[in-house]
Amino acid sequence: MRALEGQPRRGRRLGIDVGDVRIGVASCDPDGILATPVETVPGRDAPAARRRLAALVEEYEPIEVVVGLPRSLNGREGPAAAKVRDFARLLAAAVAPVPVRLVDERMSTVTAAQGLRAAGRNARKGRSVVDQAAAVIILQNALEAERSSGEPPGEGVEAVG
């Protein structure tokens, strides 16, 4: 389903930055123009985190959920990417029929921390803010990729569970 060039599909999306300790969540407006932070979900208890994310999907009614896939700078996937893929498959089952997509998130957390430092915020004291800012970057990059290509960003996730 190709959108008009420069026109992303209409509908809110949720962006997710998955970490071992915390999960940053962002949302965008229904026109898919601007991503904003939503909240930070504790991530150590994965089933509880998936339940909270499912509740956010119910609340925000997005057309899709975009999950950041951590890759190394050379594009390879390591253990962190495998964990996120597993988490995304289980999340897809929890939020079905809303689709879940994986998008490249290289450097999103580093970029978020640098941006907060530049704004005078201490990234160490505000780690949950960094996670939300990383989710904003992931979602904003996905929106821009869709605007430039006319295609949904990243790759679809098959639900398991």
| DSSP structure class, residue 8 | P
- Residue 2 falls inside a structural domain: no
Domain assignment present for residue 62? The answer is: yes
Domain count, the chain: 1
- Mean pLDDT, the chain, integer: 86
User: What does the alpha-carbon distance between residue 3 and residue 13 come to, in Å, rounded to a whole number?
Assistant: 16
pLDDT digits (tens, 9 = 90+) for 103-117: 998 755 556 556 656
Q: How confident is the model at residue 120 (pLDDT cuts 50, 70, 90)?
A: low
- The two three-digit tokens of residue 58, written as one number: 């119910």
Full residue range of the structural domain in which residue 79 is found:
13-156
The 3-state DSSP class for residue 97 equals: coil
- The answer to whether residue 6 sits within a structural domain is no
Residue 42 belongs to some domain of the structure: yes
pTM: 0.84
The pLDDT assigned to 121 comes to 60
Residue 48 near residue 39 (C-beta atoms within 8 A): no
Within a domain: residue 4? no
CATH code for position 127:
3.30.420.140
Residues 6+ apart with CB under 8 A from 48: 42
Q: Give me the residue label for tokens 């430092």.
A: 117
Identity of the residue numbered 149: S
User: pLDDT, tens digit, for every residue of 47-96?
Assistant: 999 999 999 999 999 999 999 999 877 878 889 899 999 999 999 999 99
pLDDT of 9 reads 83
Domain membership flag for residue 161 = no
Residue 113 lies in a domain: yes
| Residue 75, domain member (yes or no) | yes
